[in-house]
Amino acid sequence: MSSPQPINLAAKLALIHEHWMPKVIAEMNDYQFKLAKLKGEFVWHSHADTDETFIVVQGRLRIELRDGAIDLGPGEMTVIPRGVEHRPCALEEVHLMLIEPRGVVNTGDQGGPRSAPNDVWI
């Protein structure tokens, strides 16, 4: 096993050119740390088996819930509990880190054309 190395988030984000396609940058146990660029509205979805952590690196993210919304700015985070239906929305481009178990599909129970390939590393 190789020795740990620093991971520069800005350098990794510079490699991402599409929206809503998370890329893996690290793993810890069975959890993956993913970076993504978001713009526009995503699909309503939930994850039946896992919580999902959103950490905003740059920009402003609104996560719509059926009973309200969560607004996040740079350096802020939230955890969406398993089973809670949500829809991320970004009026302007947002740079984001996600923390979730390996194998989680970004569209959760919805599937469809917005589903990103899993386990893509940068």
Confidence band, pLDDT 50/70/90 cuts, at residue 1:
low
Average pLDDT over residues 99-112: 86
Domains and CATH numbers, the chain: 23-122 (2.60.120.10)
Question: Phi and psi dihedrals of 9, rounded to 5?
Answer: -65, -40
Give the separation between CA 31 and CA 102, rounded to whole angstroms.
5
The DSSP 8-state label assigned to residue 63 in this structure reads E
Average pLDDT over residues 72-82: 98
Average pLDDT over residues 89-106: 94
Write down the pLDDT at residue 121. Answer: 95
Q: pTM for this one?
A: 0.93
The DSSP 8-state label assigned to residue 112 in this structure reads S
Token digits of residue 110: 């919805």
Per residue in 18-55, pLDDT tens? 999 999 999 999 999 999 999 999 999 999 999 999 99
Write down the pLDDT at residue 122. Answer: 95
Single out the residue of 26, 58, 62, 57 nearest to residue 41, CA to CA.
62
